Amino acid sequence: MPTLEEIAGALGRPVLGDGTITFRRAAEPSVAGPDDLALAMSEAYADALRSSQARIAILWDGADPTEFGLDGAITVTRARLAMARLTGALDRWPEWGAGIHPTAVVAEDARLGPGTVVGAHAVIGPRVSIGAKAAIGPQVCIEADARIGDDALIHARVTIGARVTIGDRFICQPGAVIGGDGFSFVTPEESRVEQARASLGSEVGAGAQSWTRIHSLGAVAIGDDVEVGANATIDRGTVEDTRIGRGTKIDNLVHIGHNLKIGEDCLICGQVGFAGSTVVGDRVVLAGQVGVSDNIEIGDDVVAGGASKIFRRVRSGEVLWGNPAQKMETEVGLQKALRRLPRWGQQLAELRAARKETGDG
């Protein structure tokens, strides 16, 4: 069991009171027992803390532990950052055993760095290279010639396709598929989709067409410190690799099409989808269910609100919302106007009626 002192070390803050007290788990003040560390990093928890059974706590900056009858405490300034350090210190490592599980199928010419663990029923293909101290979960499949850096944490049932390259400290949640084939088809004749795009939908002929596959010769290239969520999918590029920049975090069920180039330190939330060949800058933040059209360019430092659908080029620094996505202040203005729209319709009808009456028309 960890001590309060150890946590203080992780947080880089002094202990107020007794640092030797151990605890079973961190918990909110209202449910924390006498063996727990209460998390009360904002003054909103003050009342709950007063009636809490906890003897030790993490408190907001300026709080006085003695006021709450605590035997030990640590105060912190930025709560979410403290949460990052605290949870990092308390997180438990998966129990996948040591070394290569006897049921794993590892190609003879695959190279695994020292300290790397491979779980039960994992499959590691020819010439795969994995760095040191990586943890490869049960039932993971890593195909031929893939290269993964040091300190990877790849959870159960992830698939990493042939020739995919990934940097250091990669974290991947279960079920993600990195390196599926791109969705790219062509018809021998100009297709109805091409016609619809060219004519904005006004002239589209019918008629038979069937789809011929454009194969994906490229792979996926992922930088250092990237995370990928559960059941997310990242497709390989057609000729060059699909690219995900250093530090970018990708949430569950995100779909990243072929040929995407995504920059560094982006945050891509749950169920976001990118059609193919789009270029995304650095530090872009897309909220859940955002959709991004194909073959467009998204600049740096773009932020898009939940469920925004982006159909056009976005300049660096723009903050977007809506479907179709537009500058957030424009969208907020539009939504205000829409709330008034039924009343405006009535007012317009009144004006027209009045005009008729006065014989203006």
**Spatial CB neighbours of 319, under 8 Å, sequence gap ≥ 6:** 302, 303, 304, 305, 327, 328
* Contacting residue, 221, 242, 293, 298, with its own copies by CB under 8 A: 293
Residue 157 contacts its own copies per CB under 8 A: yes
d(CA 224, CA 243): 12
State yes or no: cis peptide before 94, omega within 30 of 0: no
Residue 33 contacts its own copies per CB under 8 A: no
d(CA 190, CA 282): 36
Residue 50 contacts its own copies per CB under 8 A: no
Q: Are 283 and 300 in contact (CB under 8 A)?
A: yes
Q: How far is the CB of 199 from its own copies (least distance, A)?
A: 9
Q: How far is the CB of 43 from its own copies (least distance, A)?
A: 18
Report which residue type is found at 278.
T
Residue 356 contacts its own copies per CB under 8 A: no
Q: How far is the CB of 225 from its own copies (least distance, A)?
A: 8
> Considering beta carbons, is residue 72 or 322 the nearer one to its own copies?
322
Residue 84 contacts its own copies per CB under 8 A: yes
Residue 334 to residues 265, 287, 313, Cα–Cα distance (Å): 31, 20, 20
DSSP state, residue 359: T
Residue 44 contacts its own copies per CB under 8 A: no
CB atoms within 10 A of CB 122: 25
* Contacting residue, 1, 51, 62, 91, with its own copies by CB under 8 A: 91
* Contacting residue, 34, 69, 94, 99, with its own copies by CB under 8 A: 94
Residue 252 contacts its own copies per CB under 8 A: yes
| Residue 189 main-chain phi, psi, to 5 deg | -95, 165
Residue 353 contacts its own copies per CB under 8 A: no
Q: Which of residues 98-137 bind its own copies (CB under 8 A)?
A: 101, 103, 105, 119-121, 123, 125-126, 137
> Considering beta carbons, is residue 50 or 78 the nearer one to its own copies?
78
d(CA 325, CA 317): 14
Among 44-52, 62-70, 110-118, 261-269, the segment contacting its own copies (CB under 8 A): 261-269
121 annotated active-site: no
> Considering beta carbons, is residue 53 or 252 the nearer one to its own copies?
252
Of 53, 20, 62, the C-alpha closest to 35 is 53
Residue 46 to residues 31, 67, 70, 138, 158, Cα–Cα distance (Å): 14, 10, 12, 44, 43
CA 51, 52, 55 angle in degrees (round to 5)?
130
Q: Which of residues 170-209 bind its own copies (CB under 8 A)?
A: 171, 173-175, 177, 180-181, 183, 185-186, 188, 191-193, 196, 200-202, 204, 206-209
Q: Are 176 and 195 in contact (CB under 8 A)?
A: no
Draw the binding track, 204-233, toward its own copies (x: CB under 8 A; -: no contact). x-xxxxxxxxxxxx-------x-x-xxx-x
Catalytic one of 155, 215, 255, 258: 258
Q: Which residues are catalytic?
A: 258
